[in-house]
């Protein structure tokens, strides 16, 4: 079979290679991949790839071999999955606890855009707690996670202010329920009960100062790739009893969260924002555009005739 492997070349970060078809563990199903979605964080891993890296965590396709232990969907079932790695290939073995069955109305393109970004959004909002009537500031909002967070938080009754690099990148967020979109965190009109911070660098201290008393800042990314410096004494001039929490989405099993995302999409309550679709022969070019923030929302690559 064919798979994409890292090259270490920033201008063309992946290339095709021949590889043996995966041999699933007893609790894994073998999936014929129809579509996959790279994440911006994966583009950073490709800059200096570790030996043996097989990228790819967001896939949708068809079960061609059910798990030997009897768990999970049967052969012939359409699924979305979140494997540990190896999804940028014609076939991938996925633990059955990290699969969800797809209804007929959800195509592989939509489904592939769900796993990492959607699971992150779900778990991030659970960490934030009850949002009804609360004011939420979301930085770095124009990526895949930001679109899901905005729509889900707004549906839960939050007043979401989103920070995006340009007005164009923020237009869709207002359609999804954001009450305001600004281009600089300093322009956000606080105070906010919850700050969801994903950029790091100089923006985090500014966002922290926007918190209401006893508010919470949840730090879930560092898209600027710049270190953060915080001055403890700034707390005396800012929100009293503020809390800072670190968040990372990872931790299998993922199947329940995937099934939740699928159900929300099927019921029209969640809308994957796909800014770019292309054949997987164009993956290298798409990865560069994703890394350089030239894609709004998710990018999805197709293998064969995915719909």
Supply the pLDDT for residue 169: 82
Query: Tell me, what DSSP letter sits at residue 74?
Result: P
Supply the pLDDT for residue 200: 87
CA distance 94 to 99: 7
Supply the pLDDT for residue 305: 58
Count of Cβ atoms closer than 10 Å to residue 4 Cβ: 26
Largest CA distance in the chain: 61
Is pLDDT of 306 > 70?
A: no
Is pLDDT of 94 > 80?
A: yes
pLDDT in tens, 189-225: 989 999 999 988 888 999 999 999 999 999 998 888 8
pLDDT in tens, 119-159: 999 999 999 999 999 999 999 998 899 999 999 999 999 99
Spatial CB neighbours of 277, under 8 Å, sequence gap ≥ 6:
109, 299, 300, 301, 302
Q: Map tokens 């700034």 to a residue.
A: 234
Q: 304: pLDDT confidence band, cut at 50, 70 and 90? A: confident
The answer to whether 210 touches 192, Cβ cutoff 8 Å, is yes
Report pTM: 0.95
Q: 231: pLDDT confidence band, cut at 50, 70 and 90? A: confident
The answer to whether 156 touches 233, Cβ cutoff 8 Å, is no
Supply the pLDDT for residue 307: 55
The answer to whether 83 touches 92, Cβ cutoff 8 Å, is yes
CA distance 16 to 234: 51
**Collapsing DSSP states into helix, strand and coil, what is residue 173?**
helix
Q: Map tokens 């770019």 to a residue.
A: 276
CATH superfamily, with its number, for domain 122-246? NAD(P)-binding Rossmann-like Domain (3.40.50.720)
CATH 3.40.50.720 domain position(s) in the chain: 122-246
Task: Give the ranges where 161-276 is alpha helix by DSSP (H).
Answer: 167-175, 203-208, 234-237, 255-266
Supply the pLDDT for residue 99: 98
- Average pLDDT for the chain: 94
Supply the pLDDT for residue 11: 96
**Collapsing DSSP states into helix, strand and coil, what is residue 250?**
coil
Taking residues 266-274, report their average pLDDT: 96
Pairing between strand 211-219 and 192-197?
parallel
User: Poorest-confidence range of 41-50, 59-68, 231-240, 270-279?
Assistant: 231-240
CATH 3.90.180.10 domain position(s) in the chain: 2-114+272-302
Q: Which CATH class is domain 2-114+272-302?
A: alpha beta
Q: 54: pLDDT confidence band, cut at 50, 70 and 90? A: very high
Spatial CB neighbours of 225, under 8 Å, sequence gap ≥ 6:
44, 200, 201
Q: Two tokens at 273? A: 């924002």
Pairing between strand 91-95 and 28-36?
antiparallel
pLDDT in tens, 32-46: 999 999 999 999 999
The answer to whether 26 touches 67, Cβ cutoff 8 Å, is yes
């Amino acid at each position: 079979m064919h798979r994409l492997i890292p090259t270490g070349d920033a201008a063309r970060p992946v290339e095709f290679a021949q590889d043996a078809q995966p041999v699933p563990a007893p609790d894994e199903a073998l999936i014929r991949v129809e579509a996959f979605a790279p994440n911006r964080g994966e583009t950073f891993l490709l800059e200096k790839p570790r030996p043996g890296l097989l990228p790819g965590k967001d896939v949708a396709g068809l079960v061609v071999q059910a798990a030997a232990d009897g768990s999970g969907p049967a052969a012939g079932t359409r699924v979305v999955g979140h494997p540990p790695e190896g999804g940028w290939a014609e076939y991938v073995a996925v633990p059955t606890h990290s699969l969800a069955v797809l209804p007929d109305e959800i195509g592989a393109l939509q489904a592939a855009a769900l796993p990492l970004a959607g699971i992150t959004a779900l778990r991030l909002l659970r960490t934030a707690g009850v949002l009804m009537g609360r004011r939420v500031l979301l930085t770095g909002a124009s990526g895949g996670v930001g679109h899901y967070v905005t729509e889900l938080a707004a549906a839960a009754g939050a007043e979401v202010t989103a920070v995006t690099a340009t007005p164009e990148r923020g237009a869709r967020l207002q359609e999804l329920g954001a009450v305001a979109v600004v281009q600089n965190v300093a322009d956000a009109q606080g105070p906010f009960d919850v700050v969801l911070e994903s950029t790091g660098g100089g923006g985090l201290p500014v966002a922290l100062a926007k918190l209401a008393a006893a508010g919470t800042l949840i730090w879930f990314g560092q898209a600027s790739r710049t270190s953060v410096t915080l001055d403890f004494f700034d707390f005396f001039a800012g929100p009293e009893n503020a809390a800072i929490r670190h968040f990372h989405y990872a931790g299998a099993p993922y199947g329940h969260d995937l099934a939740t995302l699928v159900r929300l999409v099927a019921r029209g309550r969640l809308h994957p924002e796909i800014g770019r679709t292309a054949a997987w022969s164009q993956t290298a070019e798409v990865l560069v555009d994703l890394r350089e923030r030239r894609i709004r929302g998710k990018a999805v690559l197709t293998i064969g005739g995915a719909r």
